[in-house]
Amino acid sequence: MKKLFLIIVLLSAIKCFAQEKIKGIGKFKINESTRTQVDSILAGDLGQQFPDTFDKNENNFLSIHESKWAILTPDSTQDYAHPYYNYEKVNLLPLHCSMATVYFIKSYSIANIQFESVYLTFRKDTLVGFVSDYSEEITDAMKLKYGNIQPTMKTTLINCQNKIGNKFTKDETEIIYSWKNGSIEAKSYFKQYGCNGSFLTYFSVKDNAKLSTLQKMFQ
């Protein structure tokens, strides 16, 4: 009996100290938060009752990026799609799918951490994706809450050529932190391209399966 009691105590202790599983970020819960709930959260936190809307083929892209909160109207034209979604980062915004709604939020604070250029993706009015700019502060907070995991790191030697035709090689570096809970994955992503030295970085929390379905519907 004493042995059984000790086992129960031990299992309880393990459960208490187990790392929390990722379900979302702050008030935004993947596969749980509805668009109506998110609208209420944003209206209260941003002091803006409704998201700004922009007509299709809108040319003033700066207006979108200056909005506290905007809804991105699906449109198939290239000039409308690209400026706010120079997201090679994303492959995450199914803007052209009728089942998807995408919000843009210029800046949002969660647990005293500032998230910049936030994109929320809804599938049938349920939140399935959160994407923002990357920061080390976000990554450190994720490691503290969900586990101080080791990143996946990859370095590739790339063949390059400059404008006058000189050839050279340079390292291309990719660093990924990933926390998973079933089909839900949080990711801090950093990549430095070899040839031109430019960067691609982002932070995301998403349901991989449901976003993949939306993307396939558009393809």
Q: Across all residues in the chain, what is the average pLDDT?
A: 79
212 confidence band (pLDDT: 50, 70, 90):
confident
Instruction: Round to whole Å and give the CA distance between 108 and 218.
Output: 29
Which pLDDT belongs to residue 199?
Answer: 84
**Tokens standing for 179?**
């926390």
Q: Give the pLDDT confidence of 19-41 residue by residue, as tens digits.
A: 688 999 999 999 999 999 999 99
Q: Give the pLDDT confidence of 97-153 residue by residue, as tens digits.
A: 667 788 889 999 999 999 998 989 898 899 999 999 999 999 999 999 999 999 999
Global confidence as pTM = 0.79
For the chain, percent of residues with pLDDT exceeding 70 = 71
Which pLDDT belongs to residue 123?
Answer: 87
Q: Give the pLDDT confidence of 151-210 residue by residue, as tens digits.
A: 999 999 999 998 899 999 999 999 999 999 999 999 999 999 888 888 888 999 999 888
* 3-state SS track over the chain: CHHHHHHHHHHHHHHHHCCCCCCEECCEECCCCEHHHHHHHHHHHHCCCCCEECCCCCCCHHHHHHCCEEEECCCCCHHHHCHHHCCCCCCCCCCCCCCEEEEEEEEEEECCEEEEEEEEEEECCEEEEEEECCCHHHHHHHHHHHCCCCCEEEEEEEEEECCCCCEEEEEEEEEEEEEEECCEEEEEEEEECCCCCCEEEEEEEEEHHHHHHHHHHHC
| Torsion, Cα of 41, 46, 48, 54 (10° steps) | -100
Q: Give the pLDDT confidence of 57-99 residue by residue, as tens digits.
A: 445 555 666 788 988 765 433 333 443 344 444 444 555 566 7
